[in-house]
Amino acid sequence: MKFIRTDIPDVIIIEPEVHGDERGYFIETFRQDKLEAFLGFKVHFCQDNESKSSKGVLRGLHYQLTPAAQTKLVRVISGRVLDVAVDIRKGSPTFGQYVATELSGENKRQMFIPRGFAHGFVVLEDDTVFAYKVDNYYSPENDRGVAFDDPSIGIDWKLDRNSLNLSGKDTKQPFLQDAELFEYSKVLY
C-alpha cells in the first residue's frame, strides 16, 4: 500500500497494490497495522457503510460532532465519484480548505478522512457503489452538515448544478460560517 499526504496533510490518499492477471485481480483494501504505522496513532473502525447511486447524486457535506465524531476510510467498489473532505477545524492552518480526488472501481484509491472534516461526494457514473469504514457509530443527534455550494469553500463538483440530485437534508445545510464546527486544538484522533 502506498500512502500519499494531500495538500491538507491529515487527509491521506491510499493506493493499494493490485495483483492482477487474466483471471481478475486481488487487493488488500485495509491493513490496520500499515495504516497506523503511517499515521502514528491507533484507529478503531467499528462500522462499515455502503451506498449505490446514479450519476449526479451528491451526498454531503456531512460530519458528526463530538462525542460521536468519525474518522472515515472511503472507497468506490464500482463506478466513479469525486470525493471531497473539507477542513472544519477552527484554528487549523487549512480551515475552510478542501481536498478533492476521484475514486473509482478502476483506480481503487481510498481516502482517509480524520475527525474534524466534513465529507461528501458526487457520483460521476451510474450504478456507483461507494463503501466506507467509520470509527464511531452513527448518531442522529450529532449529525451535522455544511452546504455543498458554500461560496467560501468553492468546491468544483465537476457536474452542472442543474444535474445534481440532492436529498432534502442536503439542500438545507448551513454555510460554514453558521455551522457547528470543531476546535482544532480539541480534535482527538
**Residue labelled with grid coordinates 432534502:** 168
62 noted as active-site residue: yes
Find all residues with CB under 8 Å of 154, minimum gap 6, and list them. none
Catalytic residue among 63, 98, 119, 132: 132
User: Do 128 and 94 form a contact (C-beta atoms < 8 A)?
Assistant: no
Cell of 31: 491493513
Furthest CA-CA distance within the chain: 53
Cell of 160: 452542472
132 noted as active-site residue: yes
Q: Which residues pair with 102 in a beta bridge?
A: 82
Catalytic residue among 62, 63, 98, 119: 62
Please give the positions annotated as active site: 62, 132
